[in-house]
Structures are given as structure tokens and as C-alpha cells.
Amino acid sequence: MNRLRQWSALALLLVTVLLVSAVGQAPATKEKKPAAEEKWLVDRDLTVSARAAPIPALSYRLYPANSERKEGNAVPMYLRLSQERGDARRQEVVMKPDGWNKLPLDKLPLDDVRAFLDGYKYNLRQLHLGARRKTADWNYSLDSGDTIGILLPDMQEMRWQAPILALEARLAIAEGRYADAIRALETGFSFSQQISEGPFLICSLVGIARASHFADCVLELSERSDAPNLYWALAVIPRPLIDQRKPNEFEMNLLDLQFPDLADRNKSRSEAEWDAILKRVRTEMQRVSKVEKPVILVKAGNAATDPASKSPDLSDARKYLLEVVKLPAKRVEAMSPAEVLLRYLTNYYHELRDEVFKAAYVPFPEGRTLSAEAEKRLKSAPDTQAADLARQFLPAIPKVRLAQVRLERKLAALRAIEALRMHAAQSGKLPDKLSAVTIVPIPNDPGTGKPFEYRLEGKTATLSSRIVGEPLNTTGLRYRVTLRESR
């Protein structure tokens, strides 16, 4: 973990949770050599019915139309719910929906679930209304002077509220109330996106985790024998659903928020001022590093109380300013040791920061090489305080992007499955190849930018996705689709 923050562990934990939950929901199917086959992240067998698109085509939606959204901020509506329940009810919210959502639909205790949801009608009503508000402003105090120290209990609360929505959808599916189920899932996808409107990457990860759960519910609906075709309902979901531009660009500016003295690194200062700033920065770096175990060791000469002239990084710093920043030699010679170190620290940090983040501005398949190069560069950075700062503060962007593309691939695969159902309704069978589906466009695999892998063996079609160089148990996605016999 290369981000020191009181909530960074939760962020990476959520990435792990996305993997574990997907594997748990989709146990691998044994084939010729089950002991040797690597497990896939998602590996599902499903039987579906041929079904044409509804008329009108957009009779169902899995994301609210703009015309349905009303003025207002959804966040206070969601947070108010946490203040309206006591400890016993909070424990019920945390435990019961999650437990029931792990059960197959045919194992749901319908009477118990129905009674539970009846007691949460007000909560559900607020979630449905909030998901159709125009804004979701989380209003964090980002100017507090200690951005890293901001706690995010509201994100935990959102993780508890989402399973109630999923449970509402699953009960409706089990009872054959498909329009109600789709309405709950529409709320769920909008709710997930609103969570990600927070400025931190943890917010987008929570949103991704919740949206992935709702996507699993869509698949459960598609498997019902009389389920409507959801191709166009899925098509209205934004792509990507969780846009990480806002948290990425916030994280890019984190250093200046946490170290205001470094925000204007070109400002002229006296030698005493540079010394004082260096001491404050070093003190803060060591304080922040205590969030992570083990604490990053400070080399002799780089402690907060050490004079800048004793730093073992001074030679590297001067060389960097001359050769990389291209400052005139006379100017570097005239700088005090503290100024040299601070200019090296900030410029080197921003160089590595941009190497890490630039991959986020290109499609995932194109950015993988850039991410690998940035990660290699970060790991091989010299043993200096400037490199320590970069390793402390720069987030694991490749892991976050993998989490995002896992969600986008799942949604695209669901749309492809619905296209297969639509094709079968027209032709009476599954296609020999994906290109044979012409009734609607088949989405490409967001993980590769190419068509999903597809093969037809007998009456079963296998739709799969793998990312070259990544293990199947963390990125592999495989659906075996069998067409239900018509009666």
C-alpha cells in the first residue's frame, strides 16, 4: 500500500472485497483438468429464455432519465437515515440484508424479507427519491489543512444502505414483480454513481462495489424464465458509470492541500523561511507515515531537526534541478540547502505524479503499459526523501482502474447476453459467432477494446473476457449461456 491515509486501507480492502465477493458468487466449473485450471474471477453458468426487446424499446431503464431528476442534493437525505435509527436497528441494517443477499433467490425466506422491508418503507422511499436528485454534494472540509486526516464514516453508511436496495430488488424478482425490481435497480445504479461523486478515490471504489452488486442482481433477473429483455435498459447506463476523473484530479492536488507551503514552490523566500518550511514538511511527512506500519525510516540527516546542509540527498537534489528542471547553475548555487531540497522534493514528486496519473486519461487497454512503466519507475526511484514522499502519497491507480474496468466489463457482458437473447428470439437459436448478431450492437470488451471472446458448443455459448498479463482469478470473466427450451 503506497498511500498513507486513515481511510486508504479501506480503499484497497474494497478492491479485494470486489474480487472475493465475485469469486464467492461464481464458483468455477470443473472441466477436463479441474485441479490444473486456474479459477476465474467470475465464472457463471446460466440458462436464459429467448426474448425480443420490449415495445417501446425503452419501457425499462436501469438509470434515471434527466427529466425524472428534481432539484436538490441527495446526500443529506441519505445521511439523515443514519441519524433516525437506534443501535439495535443499525445492527439489523448491517447484518440482515447482507446475509439474505448471499442466498440464492430460491432460498430467500420471503416472508421474513418482506416483513423486514415493510419496516424500512420510509428508508427505501428516501433512497428512491434521493437517487433522482440532480446533485450529490458530499461537502467535505477539504480546506481543513489536514486532508489526509478526514474521516469518512458516511462511506461506511452508504455501504450499509445499498444492500437494502438490492434486497428490495431481489424480493421483487423472486415474486415476479419485474417492473418493481427494475425500478429498485435503477435507483441502485444511480445511488452507486452518487456515492462516487465524493472527491476521494475511496468514494469511487465504494460506488464501484455497490454497482457491481446491483449488476449481479440484473443477471439474476435475466435468468428468470419470463424476464423481459434488458438490453436497452442496460444501454442507458452511462459509460463509464463511475467516472474517476474528479477523484483522480483531486488526488493529483493532494500534496498542495496537505502541504500549503509547497503550493507556491516558485515564491521567493528568505533562507530562514526555507529552513522553517523544510522542518514543517519533514515533521508532517513523519506524522503521516505513522498511519502505515512499518513507519518509513528516516535516513540520518533527513530528520525534521536536522539542518538542511546535512541531508544525504543534497547532491542528488542539486543534480536534479540542473539536469531535469534545467535551472541555471548560478541560480542553483545561490540557493540555500533547504530551498534546494524543497524544490527537488516538489518537482520530483510532480514528475512521478504525472507519470502515475497520465494513464488515467487514455482508455484502459492503452493505459496498461503506461501504468506498468510508472509503477516500475516508482519502485526504482532513488532512496531519497523526495522519492519517499512520492511513494507515500501517490495512490495505486492501476488497482483502482482495474476495479473500474471489472465493473464496466460486467455491465457490457450483461448487455451482450441480452443481445444473445434478442437474437435467439429472432432466429430460434444462439449464434455461431458474435458477429452474427446484427439486431443490436454487441459492445466490445472494455478491458481489451476488442470483441468479447465467444464460442458455441452444442447448445451452450461461452462469453468470456481475459486481460493479457493479469491472472484470471482477479480479472477473468466467463459466462456459459444455455438457451432455455421453449414450451
Q: How confident is the model at residue 13 (pLDDT cuts 50, 70, 90)?
A: very low
Q: Which tens digit of pLDDT belongs to each residue from 136-148? A: 999 998 887 788 8
Q: Are residues 385 and 285 in the same domain?
A: yes
Residue 209 lies in a domain: yes
**What pLDDT, on the 0 to 100 scale, is given for residue 124?**
94
Q: Are residues 272 and 233 in the same domain?
A: no
pLDDT of 11 over the 60 cut: no
Q: Are residues 357 and 274 in the same domain?
A: yes
Residue 424 lies in a domain: yes
Least confident of 28-37, 286-295, 355-364: 28-37
Residue 141 lies in a domain: yes
Q: Can you tell me the mean pLDDT for 197-213? A: 94
Any residues with CB less than 8 A from the CB of 436 and at least 6 apart, and which? 423
Range of the domain at 222: 8-250+400-483
**What pLDDT, on the 0 to 100 scale, is given for residue 8?**
44
Q: Which tens digit of pLDDT belongs to each residue from 93-110? A: 888 999 999 999 999 999
Percent of the chain scoring above 70 in pLDDT: 91
Q: Which tens digit of pLDDT belongs to each residue from 228-261? A: 999 999 999 999 999 999 999 999 988 888 888 8
Domain C-terminal end among 355, 377, 398? 398
**What pLDDT, on the 0 to 100 scale, is given for residue 292?**
52
Q: How many domains does the chain have?
A: 2
Q: How confident is the model at residue 297 (pLDDT cuts 50, 70, 90)?
A: low
Q: What gap in Å lies between CA 196 and CA 174, rounded to an integer? A: 29
Q: How confident is the model at residue 10 (pLDDT cuts 50, 70, 90)?
A: very low
Q: Are residues 208 and 266 in the same domain?
A: no
pLDDT of 3 over the 50 cut: no
**What pLDDT, on the 0 to 100 scale, is given for residue 35?**
44
Q: What is the mean pLDDT of the chain?
A: 88
Q: What gap in Å lies between CA 195 and CA 392, rounded to an integer? A: 26
Q: Are residues 310 and 423 in the same domain?
A: no
pLDDT of 352 over the 90 cut: yes
Domain C-terminal end among 345, 371, 398? 398
Q: Are residues 418 and 365 in the same domain?
A: no
Report the C-alpha dihedral over residues 121, 125, 128, 129, rounded to 10 degrees: -170
Residue 475 lies in a domain: yes
Q: Are residues 116 and 223 in the same domain?
A: yes
Q: How confident is the model at residue 487 (pLDDT cuts 50, 70, 90)?
A: low
CB 233 within 8 A of CB 53: no
Q: Are residues 67 and 124 in the same domain?
A: yes
Q: Can you tell me the mean pLDDT for 409-423? A: 97
Residue 3 lies in a domain: no
Residue 197 lies in a domain: yes
Q: Are residues 325 and 412 in the same domain?
A: no
Domain C-terminal end among 376, 398, 420? 398
Residue 2 lies in a domain: no
pLDDT of 293 over the 70 cut: no
Q: Are residues 393 and 423 in the same domain?
A: no
Residue 436 lies in a domain: yes
> Distance of alpha carbon 466 from its chain centroid, rounded?
19
